[in-house]
Structure 1
Amino acid sequence: MARSGNGSRIGALSVAGVLAGTVLVTGCGNDSDAAGPSEGVSSTGSAGAREQGTQAVRSAYDRTAEEDTARVTLKVRTSAEGSSATANGEGTVDLDDGDSVMTVTAEGQRIEQRVVDRVLYQKPPEGQAPGGKPWIKIDLEKVAARQGAGGQSVNDPAQSAAFAKAIDDKDVTRKGTSVIDGVHTTRYRVTVDVAKLPNGSELSKQVGPSLPMDLWLDDDGRIRRQQVDMTVKAATKATVRTVLEFSDFGTDVNADAPPARQVTDMTDEVGKQGRAQS
């Protein structure tokens, strides 16, 4: 199977996670940072080291996608107006096409979640889904198109490879090493030039000219953790931290869409809400 561009599918869960997390803007309570300090932290600033780090970061998406599938955990923390709330998820993801199966816990409630062919399906707690059906459906591509890609392109699996193109040598700093789930990793901090991303001019109006991103790569150059921090300027100014961790490469993924008769399509409602916030 040709792998050119398949790394662009890394991070499929992040779209769904941000959607789940941003509805928690009005949640209460404080939450600690998702990613802890690195072990043996040291910055490496030489030109040669930066170039080596840049090459490692740029190739990481494709190297991870070569594993086809993985187990993933997700944490999205959304903070606004002095309050914060967290959504946690765990499941499996197809790193090639972006399909996934997850369980998300937010505000003490569990939501079954699937992404199939770039469509998000969520099953809220019984009796809470609109339309009297157990599942809701959100077409992620349609929402992104209607919002001019908006903040979602930051976490869109179809745009993840664009991060690599938006990073140059001066943007990469080696921050040391960490052990994640027993695996030795090297941490890199990068700055993403938003203008170089697809729809960058519109996106920069919402999240600013640059985004900080941290990547933890294992000795095979695969992503074990990715952290993106953004401040979204909408009706309510909110900061969103999204942390993905990958493990158990090669695990089975069984992502199937629910029966159509059990699904209420919420794509239009989500699109309208996004335009109103913009």
Structure 2
Amino acid sequence: MVRPDGSIRVGTATVAGVLAGTVLAGCGTVGGSPAGKETSSTREQDTKAVRSAYGKTAEQDTARVTLRVQTSADGTSMTASGRGTVDLRDGDSVMTLSAQGGRVEQRVVDQVLYQKLPRSEVPGGKPWIRIDLQKAAERRAVGGQSVNDPVQAAAFARAIDGKDVTREGTSEVGEVNTTHYRVAVDVAELPDGATLRRQLGPTLPMDVWLDGDGRIRRQQIDMTLKAPAEDAATDRASSPPRPAKVRTVMEFSDFGTDVEAKAPPPRQVTDLTGTALERGQTQN
């Protein structure tokens, strides 16, 4: 199941780090610009299209979203998926997440993550847990938000340079014709870029598929997370730690749909923000 410290803020994806696959349904690349034929003018247009896509998508206010996160490390892999609705401006969302045979109802309201856990996982007998994402992010207890968050439009726009954008061709995403772009994001230009650079390296591979109105229909981010230095030192005597690979794919549709993101009644909620912060301290 999706653990409280592994969720991703969707809208961000979670939506706590989770929320945020190989399920690229209906995506067949028809063809890109022939090698060596891309002009500086074309590249400039492509860069402008990608940099403006985050703002154009957020202007739609809301959307239906599907999410798939594939993680592999040390020879094992796990896939998590999600489906729901998201406010593209403030990140509020209502999602159903599935992973390892479990299902979790999740809401993000005013930067607070709520998850309704399976009965066997409920702490203190209350069905919902709560994590303040803003506090957790400030202490880096919940990772991946700035990287996986389509709401962080300005940050991504600043981190995309003309030399890093390549048009790959056209394909269908959810029966919508799109143009596929491959992007190398400058990690140093993202929020908390210095820390992310140590974890991810200098660039972050990303693919986006834009519709005829310049809106994001699919975003794929491929991260290779390096093992912390202290882990490397600990494991040096045995075998070197292997990096973890994470692929996050988000698809957007039904722009303008209703988003009913409401916090559960307080009496049904256990606050685990402190637990997330403590875990974050041990991991930093």
SS of 2:13 mapped into structure 1: helix
Separation (CA, whole Å) in 2 of partners of 1:152 and 1:69: 19
- Residue in 2 aligned with 1:229? 222
Residue identity matched to 1:198: P
Out of 41, 46, 53, which is 2:31 matched to?
A: 41
The Cα shift of 1:17 comes to 5.7
Whether 2:208 is the aligned partner of 1:215: answer: yes
Residue identity matched to 1:128: E
Separation (CA, whole Å) in 2 of partners of 1:121 and 1:176: 39
Out of 42, 48, 56, which is 1:63 matched to?
A: 56
Q: Please, which moves more after superposition, 126-135 or 66-75?
A: 126-135
Separation (CA, whole Å) in 1 of partners of 2:249 and 2:145: 15
Residue identity matched to 2:246: V
The Cα shift of 1:158 comes to 5.4
- Residue in 2 aligned with 1:188? 181
- Residue in 1 aligned with 2:247? 241
- Residue in 1 aligned with 2:168? 175
Map Cα deviations across residues 170-214 of structure 1 (whole Å, 9 max, x no partner): 000000011111100000010110111121111111111110110
- Structure-2 change in CA distance of 1:131 and 1:214 (3 Å): same
- Residue in 1 aligned with 2:195? 202
Using the aligned pairs only, state the percent identity.
61
Q: Please, which moves more after superposition, 182-191 or 229-238?
A: 229-238
Residue identity matched to 1:41: G
The Cα shift of 1:52 comes to 0.6
Over the aligned positions, Cα root-mean-square deviation in angstroms equals 2.1
- Residue in 2 aligned with 1:18? 17
- Structure-2 change in CA distance of 1:20 and 1:42 (3 Å): closer
- Structure-2 change in CA distance of 1:127 and 1:222 (3 Å): same
Residue identity matched to 1:240: V
Residue identity matched to 1:60: A
SS of 2:196 mapped into structure 1: helix
Greater C-alpha radius of gyration: 2
- Structure-2 change in CA distance of 1:17 and 1:119 (3 Å): closer
Map Cα deviations across residues 240-277 of structure 1 (whole Å, 9 max, x no partner): 11111000111111000011111111112222223323
Counting only pairs closer than 5 Å after superposition, residues 96-135 of structure 1 correspond to structure 2 as: 96-135=89-128
Residue identity matched to 2:30: G
Whether 2:283 is the aligned partner of 1:277: answer: yes
Separation (CA, whole Å) in 1 of partners of 2:40 and 2:149: 31
Which structure 2 residue ranges, 5 or more long, are not aligned? 1-8, 232-240
- Structure-2 change in CA distance of 1:20 and 1:92 (3 Å): closer
> TM-score normalized by structure 1?
0.86
> TM-score normalized by structure 2?
0.85
SS of 2:223 mapped into structure 1: strand
